[in-house]
Amino acid sequence: MTDLFSPLPLRAITLPNRLVVSPMCQYSAAEGMVNDWHFAHLSRFALGGFGTVMVEASAVTPEGRISPGDVGIWNDSQAGALARIATFLKSQGTIAAIQLAHAGRKASTRRPWHGGTALDAGDLRQRGEVAWQTVAPSVLAHADDYPQPVALDEAGMEAICQAFVDATRRAEAAGFDMVEVHCAHGYLLHQFLSPLSNQRDDAYGGSLQHRMRFPLRVIAAVRKAWPDDKPLLVRISAIDAAAGGWQLDDSVEFCHALKALGVDVVDCSSGGITSSYEGPGGPGYQVPYARRIREQTGVATMAVGLITDPRQAQSIINNGDADLVALARQALVDPQWPLHAEKQLGGDPTDFSRWPLQSASRLAARAKSLARHG
């Protein structure tokens, strides 16, 4: 078996393989509650052989949602609904993970298919969706078509930190094996890190150390609230991909601090702090970020971004570029990508032992019949 399908122990949890489904917002919740769509959307990936499946960005407060359709984990009823998903994922031998998030100044927007811009009175009339006040490190809107935030004070930051802690405890109660703190893509914790969005002149702005202070405070609190025997992940934007923004050297320093706090895996993405992206592109374009952070900090990393081919994914693991490979849109294209990849990488075309029992024997019989008859 290739390294792509080898297990990865993290604390007391062992991931069955190196393939992860990235959190993908579905914008289909009501009042933060998951429903049958989310169950079906996520369950297919467990049936398809992914070792870890991560629930989409789940807001720790109502104001932390990107849109009115975002999943939430700010109350126990939401956690109870999420438990159904975690239970099914685990029943298939898959690690159940969830991403905890706060959108900051990128909140209070329409769903993508409604335009993705700021909610207004028209949305109230058409869909009953009410805009809310957004918050950020500084009074700087994400873009012209986004709402104007208010700057967080100490009390506001403490409330959000506590909300992350409460959400972490709910994730444990719901049965999740791993949590990931969202510190990327221009959302609140990333907004504190980037000099493009953080123009504070207090202890939370200015120097790199000051800009890292609030995100590290939140992550430390989450680590303390999360069981010692369960892994903690953090997703970062390794670069802002915008002039004057967060750089890879900054990420290396930040990841040294994350490792010291007990973070087990850094999920390496990029961009999102502005409405444009000025970085590299192409297949596996973010893999070098995962490799450099892994090499220079010693923390395990996850590579993500235009990884589509099994041999490409295998080489990332075999070459030591990252410890995990995450798929998002490619998983949407092929929810059974790992099962198909195994055969493309030299697996026995008649062996369906890793497929769900309900289909394995039928598929094995068909494969043997096809082999006999050319």
For residue 235 the two structure tokens come to 């997703």
Q: How far apart are CA 171 and CA 184, in angstroms?
A: 20
Structure tokens at 91: 């029943």
**283 burial class (0-12, 13-18, 19+ CB within 10 angstroms)?**
exposed
Side-chain-side CA neighbours of residue 114 (13 Å): 20
Closest residue by Cα to residue 97 from 184, 156, 27, 10: 10
Residue 56 corresponds to which amino acid? E
Pairing, β 95-101 against β 52-59: parallel
The amino acid at residue 267 is D
Residue 119 near residue 88 (C-beta atoms within 8 A): no
> Cα torsion at 328, 332, 337, 339 (round to 10°)?
120
CA 40 – CA 85 distance, rounded (Å): 9
The torsion angles phi and psi of 364, rounded to 5 degrees, stand at -65, -40
Q: Which of 27, 146, 187, 204 is catalytic?
A: 187
Catalytic, 187? Answer yes
Please state, in angstroms and as integers, the Cα–Cα distance from residue 298 to each residue in 3, 203, 258, 270, following that order: 19, 29, 11, 20
Helix (H) or strand (E) holding 97: strand 95-101
Residues noted as catalytic: 187
